[in-house]
Structure 1
Amino acid sequence: MSRYLLDTNIISEPLRPVPNPKILERLRKHQDQLATASVVWHELLFGCYRFPDSERRAAIEEYLQRVVAASIEILPYDGHAARWHAVERARLALAGRTPPLADGQIAAVARTNDLVLVTLNLMDYDGFRDLRVEDWRE
C-alpha cells in the first residue's frame, strides 16, 4: 500500500552524477510504499524526450520504464483531485498566491490519496492546506 507520493526531483535523484545517499536509502527502505502522480510521470517523460537521441536519453528512458513504471504506482489527477485543487487554488489566489498549476495538481493527488508528498522543493507546496510534505535529504 502506498504511503508516499514522490515528486519529480525525488524520482530523478538516482540519475544524478552523485545521488544523495539519504534519499537513495529512503527510496530503498520504502520501496513498497511509493507512488507518484500522472503529472510527475508527464514531467519525467517530457524531460527525457527533450534530450536528443543519445546514450544519456536511452539510459533515462530505460530507468523510467524498467524502474519507475515497473515499481511505482502512477496515480491519476482525477475528479476528486481536481475539486480539491480548485478549492485550494481559489483560496490561495484570494490570498494573493498563485502556485504553478502542476505543483497544485501534484499536491492534490497526494492530499486526496492521503499520501505524504516527498520533494526537494518544500516551498513549492507551502500554503496548501492539510498537505503533509517531507524532504528526504533531512
Structure 2
Amino acid sequence: MIILDTNLVSEPLKPLPHPGVVHWLNAQEPATLFITSINLAELLAGVETMPQGKRRDALAQALANQVSALFENRILNFNARAAQCFAACLAGAQAQGNAVGFADCAIAAIAKTHGFIVATRNVRDFQGMGVELVNPWALN
C-alpha cells in the first residue's frame, strides 16, 4: 500500500504533468493508493490561497470531482497512534539533521502506523523518519 505525498497528488492536475509520473500512477492498482487528511488539507489550502480566477476554479473543481471522489474511502487520518509515532519520526529526522515540517512528519507517521510506503518527489524531506520511500520522478 502506498500513501501519495501532496506533490504526487497534484502532479496529474498540472497542464503538463511529468509523463513518467503519470505512467507510474496508471501502473498502480487504484485500491493500493491512499492519501492522508494532511495531504487533503494541504491541497485545499493551496487552492484557497490562490488568486481568484479560472486556474483556481479549475483546480477547486478537479480537487472536488477527481481527488476527493477518487480517494473517498482511502483517506487516512492523523489519529492518536500516528501522534505517538510522530514523535519518533521527528526525533529520527532531527538526529540526521533534517529540519522536517509538520505535514511531512505527520504523513510519515501515518504511513508508519499502517506499514505503508510514501511516494514523493521530495525524498529528502522524509529522511531519518524510518519510512519506506519511492520517487516516481526518478524511475525510468
Instruction: Please say whether Structure 1 and Structure 2 have the same fold, judged by a TM-score greater than 0.5.
Output: yes
Matched, 1:29 2:30: no
- Alignment CA distance shift 1:83-1:20 (3 Å): same
- What are structure 2's unaligned runs of at least 5 residues? none
Sequence identity of aligned pairs in percent?
32
Find runs of 4+ consecutive structure 1 residues off by over 4 angstroms: 94-97
For 2:37, the equivalent position in structure 1 comes to 38
Shift of 1:80: 0.5
Q: Deviations over 1:41-75 (max 9, x none)?
A: 11100000111221111110111111111112211
The 1:63/1:86 distance shift into structure 2, 3 A limit, reads same
Total equivalences in the alignment: 135
Opposite residue 99 of structure 1, the aligned amino acid is V
- 1:51-62 maps to which residues of 2 (within 5 A)? 51-62=50-61
Who is 1:5 aligned against? Answer: 3
| 1:49 match | 48
In structure 1, the residue matched to 2:101 is 100
- Choose from 15, 18, 21 the match for 1:17: 15
TM-score normalized by the length of structure 2:
0.88
- Report the CA distance between 1:29 and its aligned residue: 2.1
- Residue 122, structure 1, aligned to residue 120, structure 2: no
Q: CA deviation at 1:16?
A: 2.0
Q: Secondary structure at the match of 2:136?
A: coil
Q: 1:44 to 1:6 in 2, by over 3 A?
A: same
Q: Distance in 2 between matches of 1:49 and 1:92?
A: 30
- 1:117 alignment partner, SS class: strand
The CA deviation at 1:93 is: 3.8
TM-score calculated relative to the size of structure 1? 0.90
2:120–2:136 Cα contact (<8 Å) kept: yes
